[in-house]
Structure 1
Amino acid sequence: RSDLGNARIAGLTEDLHLSNQQYSNVASVFYAGYLAFQLPSTLLIRKITAPVQFFLCAMLWGLFTTCTVAVKSYGSLIALRILVGAAEALLQGGLYFVSIIYKPRELGSRLAIIYSTSSLAGACNGLIALGVEENLSGVNGWAAWQWLFLARVIPMGFAFVDLIFVPASPEKLRFFFNEEEKALILRRSRLAQNTSEIKFLPTLILVLFKDPVFWLCVCVFSGMTFASAAFTNFLPAIIKSFGWSSVTAQAMSVIPYAISAVTTIFWAFLSDRIGQRLLIMMTNILIAIIGFILLLTVHSKGALMVGACFVLAGVQPGIAITTAFIPNSLPGRTLPMHSSYSDSGR
């Protein structure tokens, strides 16, 4: 989703004659599709299984994102971003899927590995955008931002990896595991209080709504994800405003993302090791606050970059650890499945 920020300073807004408000609308409307399809995607994974759902996610996301190459107007860009958000929402079932495989003490680090790929993708976006702006801008009559979106066809190939290798459940492992390993994985799943029956019970939604821990996580998670969404959609433009050229800003945007990928894994593994989620969450919030204070108060390029790094180094780990907090607190497969909708803050 962060490719939009790189495309902005690669000429997207100029070519489509977008105002600042229109660009903000384009960035925001992604979450309309994402939010609308989050709960359905978590329920759908029970019907079509994880490998099929992740296959569809990768294929549809790649298709809709690549189609951005052909947009000619503000309206068509809005429509495509809604579809991209809806396609990415299919990945939401993955959070529930991970929670039924790993024990509670292991969940934070496993989710962190997943979330760190978002930061790594942001870093790769910066490198790809740098190469595109320097070498492909104007080639075949295409602007740099069009080449940037065309590169999104590549992840569609990984859809087939999901379809072939991702197991449908701990009970249905397929490749690379002998019988002893399969039995061990199944025992581990049951230690996490998971059963073989997955049922959607509307009454459990009411149980969640009455749980103050659930609402605490919703509030913290929403704050983290609002900050992340706003920051990542504008990060290249923010860095450019420090006084660098568009090409340099693309390169510099790699740094905050790379740092946040490392800190996400570090803090999550630490939280698993010491068995403490809440303290780590509060620490991450403090780090992000320090970053925002630096961005608001300092003026040198170096200090501003430090502030940007602090923001992502606090926000991204906080999202992963908060996501792990609810499944850790709710037994069985059904409550975590219902609680996954708390991720709507994204």
Structure 2
Amino acid sequence: MDTEKVEPVNDVDMVEYQEKEFLATEPELTAEEKRLERSLVLKADILIVGMTSLVFLVNQWDRGNIGNARVMGLQKDLNISNDQFYNAVSLYYVGYVICIIPANLSIRFFKAHRQVGGCVIVFATLSCCMAAAKNAATVLALRILFGFASTFLQALTLYTSLWYKRDELATRTSAFYSAATIAGAFSGLIAYAIQKNLDGALGHSAWQWLFIIQGCAGIFVGISAWLLMPPPPDQIKDLKHWIFSKAELEVAIKRLKTYNKAGAGFDKKQMLIAFKDPKVYFCSVMNAGIALGLASISAFLPSFVQQFGFSPTRTQLFSLIPYACAFVTLLIVNYTSDRTGIKGPLLMLCFAFSIVGYIILMVVNSVKVKIFGTCLITMGVFPCVTLLGAWASINVGGFTKRAMTWGVAEVVGQCFAIMASHIYTDPPRYLKGHSICLAFQAMGFISAFLMWLHMRHLNGKKEEEAARHQAAGTVHPMSHQSLEEAYDYHPDFRYIL
């Protein structure tokens, strides 16, 4: 792109400048529109964030309950070998990898409520079916199908970016990822209660009741999402919706235009543009470390805790502690990031937490210190998920380019999540698994720093270019374009550091 071309300012230029499609500043709202905006955001928080939080909660339950089920006797009852169990964990991510990019692009085609509600109903039903598994082959088949279905939730980060502004996104995404940490904590609590009270009830083992109860809860949430979740504001027909007024939706579209183009959809040209941007590679390396850590926690946290010397029942109970710490940290870090506009340094801080946690697990023998190290890992990994998703979403212009950037990062991340199921094979200390996770957390830290430096440099170049145009009395030739035409290379676009 020619970013140095100079165009003189004249009356026509000024009219076009006033009507340009990308607004780099806050939308100019009247007093009445500001009142409507407050009502809009409140309703969106209740409906969209609330519903999405429930979706992530049941997804995390159904995704991670195989780890709890292992402690409850699944592996022994079905004569599943360790290798077969690791394969069952990894096959979830195989299905995930295959569908992740189409899932990010399809949210505009299927509409959010259909895509999200439908996939929740499917994966929750598959979770119920796990209770009927009689051998390893059935478990393996259900896990890969579960991965296919779960993939379509990943477009929710992209979906929320169409409802919220750049300085609102991290806090909202942290809310529904907080639900995932709550799910992890409550999954251990539910597993504890089931193992204590339902083992053998009606002829079913405790692990079977775990899949049935959590699967039924997921089906209910999926039906609710289908019925209640709204499409993006610019896709609501005739601006009529059961909870939002027409005036509120008009304000929503006005807010959307500060970062998106109304009605933007798939653009194959932007797919290639995404691969030319270094951010896609920085995000991919960071997500590799995050996904590796998250997958190992989801599948093996009960196994880690059991190796500290606890009984199966106490293991489920003590698994609550790391998730509770992650929940608090996730909310604090993401709220701080939105209030201060700081993303990169906080992301680096979270990687540092995880690095210290893995070092503790590798070198310390004290059970209390090991539990503290495990808490540090969850306090680092879970906030990283939301911070990276928000940081990538708000710093990439163009709907398809943004979807591709995060989609590619997710593909890479889930490939490394598959690795997580095969590196924790040396109990009780799991030195191989911890050392590999440590290395990738360090790589994630370095990549976050390099991406921060890269975008800081680009912001500086844009500021210099703007100063030159202002001094010459000219207008940048790309100023009138939308982000669908200029992407984040738009002269008025500034990266959030």
Tell me the TM-score normalised to structure 2 length. 0.68
SS in 1 for 2:272: helix
Query: Greater share of helix residues, 1 or 2?
Result: 1
Corresponding position: 1:93 with 2:155: yes
Partner amino acid, structure 1, of 2:380: G
Q: CA deviation at 1:125?
A: 0.5
Residues 100-138 of structure 1: CA distance to partner in whole angstroms, max 9, x if unpaired? 221112111111112111111111110110001000111
CA contact (8 A) 2:287 2:410 kept: yes
Partner amino acid, structure 2, of 1:215: Y
**Distance in 2 (alpha carbons) for counterparts of 1:78 and 1:198:** 39
CA contact (8 A) 2:126 2:146 kept: yes
5 Å-filtered alignment, 1:131-170, equals: 131-151=193-213, 152-170=215-233
**Distance in 1 (alpha carbons) for counterparts of 2:170 and 2:284:** 17
Q: Which residue of 1 aligns with 2:340?
A: 274
CA contact (8 A) 2:351 2:384 kept: yes
Partner amino acid, structure 1, of 2:97: L
Q: CA deviation at 1:216?
A: 0.6
Identity across the alignment (%): 32
SS in 2 for 1:191: coil
**Distance in 2 (alpha carbons) for counterparts of 1:52 and 1:174:** 16
Q: Which residue of 2 aligns with 1:328?
A: 394
Deviates more, 1:56-65 or 1:12-21: 12-21
Larger radius of gyration: 2
Q: CA deviation at 1:153?
A: 1.3
5 Å-filtered alignment, 1:2-151, equals: 2-151=64-213
Instruction: Show structure 1 runs of 5+ residues with no match.
Output: none
Partner amino acid, structure 1, of 2:392: I
CA contact (8 A) 2:268 2:400 kept: no
CA contact (8 A) 2:270 2:398 kept: no
Partner amino acid, structure 2, of 1:166: M
- Which of 324, 329, 354 is the aligned partner of 1:263? 329
Tell me the TM-score normalised to structure 1 length. 0.96
Corresponding position: 1:178 with 2:245: yes
Q: CA deviation at 1:177?
A: 2.3
Q: Once superposed, what is the RMSD of the aligned Cα atoms?
A: 1.4
Partner amino acid, structure 2, of 1:189: L
CA contact (8 A) 1:61 1:87 kept: yes
Q: CA deviation at 1:266?
A: 1.2
Partner amino acid, structure 2, of 1:200: F
Q: CA deviation at 1:203?
A: 2.3
Residues 16-75 of structure 1: CA distance to partner in whole angstroms, max 9, x if unpaired? 112222211111110001111111222322222111111111100111111000111111
CA contact (8 A) 1:99 1:336 kept: no
Partner amino acid, structure 2, of 1:246: P
CA contact (8 A) 2:271 2:400 kept: no
Q: Which residue of 2 aligns with 1:251?
A: 317
Q: CA deviation at 1:260?
A: 0.8
SS in 1 for 2:306: helix
**Distance in 2 (alpha carbons) for counterparts of 1:186 and 1:123:** 38
CA contact (8 A) 1:217 1:325 kept: no
SS in 1 for 2:168: helix
Residues 281-317 of structure 1: CA distance to partner in whole angstroms, max 9, x if unpaired? 1100000011111111112221111111110100110
CA contact (8 A) 2:133 2:139 kept: yes
Q: Which residue of 1 aligns with 2:276?
A: 210
Q: CA deviation at 1:187?
A: 1.4
Number of equivalences? 345
Instruction: Show structure 2 runs of 5+ residues with no match.
Output: 1-62, 415-497
**Distance in 1 (alpha carbons) for counterparts of 2:314 and 2:211:** 20
Q: CA deviation at 1:198?
A: 2.6
Partner amino acid, structure 2, of 1:124: F
**Distance in 1 (alpha carbons) for counterparts of 2:178 and 2:98:** 24
**Distance in 2 (alpha carbons) for counterparts of 1:76 and 1:159:** 24
Partner amino acid, structure 1, of 2:192: L
CA contact (8 A) 1:100 1:333 kept: no
Q: CA deviation at 1:324?
A: 1.0
**Distance in 1 (alpha carbons) for counterparts of 2:387 and 2:291:** 12
Q: CA deviation at 1:252?
A: 0.7
SS in 2 for 1:72: coil
CA contact (8 A) 1:42 1:337 kept: yes
CA contact (8 A) 2:130 2:211 kept: yes
Partner amino acid, structure 1, of 2:277: D
CA contact (8 A) 1:37 1:89 kept: yes
Partner amino acid, structure 1, of 2:307: S
